[in-house]
Amino acid sequence: MQDLAAQQAVIASGHEPLDRQLPGGGWPLGSMVEVLQHRPGQHAWRLLLPALAKAIETSAGPVVLVGSPYLPFGPSLQSQGLPGNRLLCVNADKPAARLWACEQALRCAEVAAVVAWLAQANPAQLRRLQMAAHEQQRLLFVFREARSQNDASPARLRLLVDGTDAMNVRILKRRGPPLESVVSLPAHPRKLAALLKSRRLRTSPLSVPLPVRMPASPGQQENIHVLDSAPAHP
């Protein structure tokens, strides 16, 4: 059986239990990482933020977000190493426009990383993005719906991420032996997790818990990560 040692350049995910299961010990540079979710945006920042903060240290350009379902909450991201002025949000509703924007960003030498939400992309379109990421050795994350897990994909690394109190990561595809178990990671940063735990301990069954995020607007899904404060497309 193949081991997980790799010659490909990687950047650590910032989650040690996950890095131990990733070929080379981190997210691959020059390869698409496909992240499947039941709910768009859930745990997206918690999963990617450490690596994105690291990526901007070696690049003068931005992290490009294409089709993000929710606007990033700048102060929280900045406190964790990703300043708001290093984010470039591309709002594109049509699938073709998202794909075009994603490919152009990947081919831009100044871009540090690309994160795209491409629910309707087909394998041929994803292959074009994989090739563009490979040519520029770019860090590329593509978020898609969980129901796509049985579809063919050119991604060398595919993950299924779900859970609420914990971030449960199932590695669907990687180089090397398959991983049958789930990697469970904290769903919130340490300080926020401590605050939530403290509130739960202080709250009696008859009292009303204090909110930790802005109330959902009409049509907005519940249980959105605290870093995502508002829908990007009202």
Query: Domain spans of the chain?
Result: 10-231
Look at residue 196 in the predicted model and tell me its pLDDT: 46
Q: Rounded distance, CA 214 to CA 208, Å?
A: 16
Q: List the one residue out of 225, 233, 200, 232 whose CA is nearest residue 47.
A: 225
Q: What is the pTM of this model?
A: 0.80
**Distant-in-sequence contacts of 117-120, Cβ < 8 A, 24+ apart:** 117/40, 117/41, 117/66, 117/67, 117/68, 117/69, 117/142, 117/143, 117/144, 118/66, 118/67, 118/142, 118/143, 118/144, 119/40, 119/95, 119/144, 119/145, 119/148, 120/95
pLDDT at 61 over 50: yes
Q: List the one residue out of 212, 164, 174 whose CA is nearest residue 192.
A: 212
The stretch 83-111 carries a mean pLDDT of: 94
The stretch 20-24 carries a mean pLDDT of: 95
3-state secondary structure labels for all residues of 15-58 = CHHHHCCCHHHCEECCCEEEEEECCCCCCHHHHHHHHHHHHHHH
How would residue 101 be classed by pLDDT, with cut points 50, 70 and 90?
very high
CA 86 from chain centre, in angstroms, equals: 16
Look at residue 39 in the predicted model and tell me its pLDDT: 87
Q: Rounded distance, CA 222 to CA 39, Å?
A: 10
Q: Rounded distance, CA 160 to CA 165, Å?
A: 16
Look at residue 71 in the predicted model and tell me its pLDDT: 87
**Topology of domain 10-231, per CATH?**
Rossmann fold (3.40.50)
222's CB contacts (< 8 A; 6+ apart) are 216
How would residue 5 be classed by pLDDT, with cut points 50, 70 and 90?
low
pLDDT at 212 over 70: no
The H or E element that residue 124 is part of is helix 123-136
